[in-house]
């Protein structure tokens, strides 16, 4: 029997988490995202990824991630292939390592939206093409890149700002922490006891923040949002946590983003952000989502441009 070998050694990096990205790389993506967005608005066509194709693996359903990546590839001159759980055998009949190697023979990059972060790291280990984390239970890096692009557009700077994330210390919170520490944005996580972000994430961001001046704070008291330039929240029960929904409503009820909590910042121009979809009436009120301070739809739009910057950087010639 012939020995089956791994494909050609990978020469380009992956995006599994912002913890692995340098400050220069992250800032470069923001600059490129702003440039590509401005050029698109001006009617300039791009062919950076002409002839290239992205495999898009979805264990979880999606609106923004699927549409933004598919349109991003199209606007860059390439193509995208949607693969749901019904279309493939990822982690079931076929191993993730085999899936990674097969897709590497067909496509120029792999984006995956999964439940377990280990699926992302295994894909990255065995794929010979770049792997991009479209979401895992640990990290949501593309969302955070779009978030910081949005803040930069509205505040005209990042370094020295403070972002307060109120809610579950989840994958979105982790990525905001990693990104803020590298960009000089202080991040405060405000959450109920027992729902804090992973200690290892906080510890790493404290170290990274010493290089950029970013501070990290984790608190169970909503008064900690005082002085924040940005208030950010996410759903209280993520996909896969449906059985916990009623209990989480009870536990998180005092952490709802409403006019009273926004006022606690002491800043009339504090931005409101949400990665969407929003459960209006739960983690945030209509009054806040639809207010002039809300930039949630700018944020959603920027998923497209941030991901174009990431795709060009990782898959471009």
**Given this model, what pLDDT does residue 6 score?**
52
Which of 256, 303, 305, 307 is catalytic? The answer is 303
Q: What is the distance between the alpha carbons of residues 302 and 33, in angstroms, rounded to a whole number?
A: 8
pLDDT along the chain (317 residues), means of 10: 50 92 98 98 97 96 95 98 82 83 97 96 97 98 98 98 98 98 98 98 98 98 98 89 88 98 98 98 98 98 98 94
154 counts as catalytic:
no
Q: What is the pLDDT of residue 317?
A: 78
Catalytic residue among 64, 66, 113, 174: 113
The Cα–Cα gap between 26 and 305 comes to 14
Token output for 37: 């967005």
Burial of 189 (0-12, 13-18, 19+ CB in 10 A): buried
27 catalytic per annotation = no
pLDDT on residue 80: 98
Instruction: Given the residues 140, 174, 274, 305, select the one marked as catalytic.
Output: 140
Catalytic-labelled residue, pool 143, 149, 256, 307 = 143
Q: In this predicted structure, what is the pLDDT of residue 118?
A: 97
Active site residue 215: no
Domains, the chain, in order of start with CATH, read: 18-140+303-315 (3.40.50.1370), 143-300 (3.40.50.1370)
What pLDDT score was predicted for residue 147? Answer: 99
- What pLDDT, on a 0 to 100 scale, did the predictor assign at position 238? 79
pLDDT of amino acid 244: 86
The secondary structure of 80-140 as a DSSP string is EEEEETTT--BTTTB-HHHHHHHHHHH-SEEEEE-S-HHHHHHHHHH-SS-EEEEE-SS--
Q: What is the pLDDT of residue 90?
A: 65
CA trace torsion 214, 142, 133, 137 (10° rounding): 70
- Give catalytic status of residue 113 as yes or no: yes
Establish whether 298 is a catalytic residue.
no
Q: How high is the pLDDT of residue 295?
A: 98
Q: Which of 107, 191, 205, 275 is catalytic?
A: 275
Q: Please, which residues have CB within 8 angstroms of residue 193's CB and are 6 or more apart in sequence?
A: 220
What order do you get walking across the sheet with 186-190 strand by strand? 216-219, 186-190, 162-166, 230-233, 271-274
């Amino acid at each position: 029997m012939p020995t089956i070998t791994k494909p050609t050694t990978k020469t380009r990096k992956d995006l599994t988490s912002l913890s692995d990205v340098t400050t220069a790389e992250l800032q470069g993506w923001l600059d490129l995202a702003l440039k590509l967005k401005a050029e698109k608005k001006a009617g300039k066509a791009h062919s950076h990824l002409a002839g290239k194709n992205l495999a898009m693996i979805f264990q979880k359903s999606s609106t923004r991630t699927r549409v933004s990546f598919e349109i991003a590839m199209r606007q860059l001159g390439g193509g995208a292939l949607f693969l749901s759980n019904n279309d493939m055998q990822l982690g079931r009949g076929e191993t993730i390592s085999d899936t990674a190697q097969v897709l590497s023979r067909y496509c120029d990059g792999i984006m995956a939206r999964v439940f377990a972060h280990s699926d992302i790291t295994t894909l990255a280990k065995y794929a010979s093409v770049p792997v991009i984390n479209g979401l895992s239970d640990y990290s949501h890096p593309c969302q955070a890149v779009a978030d910081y692009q949005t803040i930069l557009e509205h505040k005209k700077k990042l370094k020295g700002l403070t972002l307060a994330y109120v809610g579950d210390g989840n994958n979105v919170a982790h990525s905001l922490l990693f990104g803020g520490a590298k960009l000089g944005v202080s991040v405060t996580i405000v959450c109920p006891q027992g729902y804090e972000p992973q200690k290892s994430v906080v510890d790493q961001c404290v170290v990274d923040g010493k290089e950029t001046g970013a501070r990290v704070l984790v608190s169970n008291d909503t008064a900690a949002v005082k002085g924040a330039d940005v208030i950010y929240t996410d759903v209280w029960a993520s996909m896969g946590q449906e059985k916990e929904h009623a209990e989480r409503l009870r536990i998180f009820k005092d952490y709802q983003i409403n006019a009273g909590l926004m006022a606690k910042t002491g800043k009339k121009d504090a931005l409101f952000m949400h990665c969407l979809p929003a459960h209006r009436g739960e983690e945030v009120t209509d009054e806040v989502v639809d207010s002039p301070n809300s930039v949630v739809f700018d944020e959603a739009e920027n998923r497209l441009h941030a991901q174009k910057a990431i795709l060009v950087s990782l898959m471009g010639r």
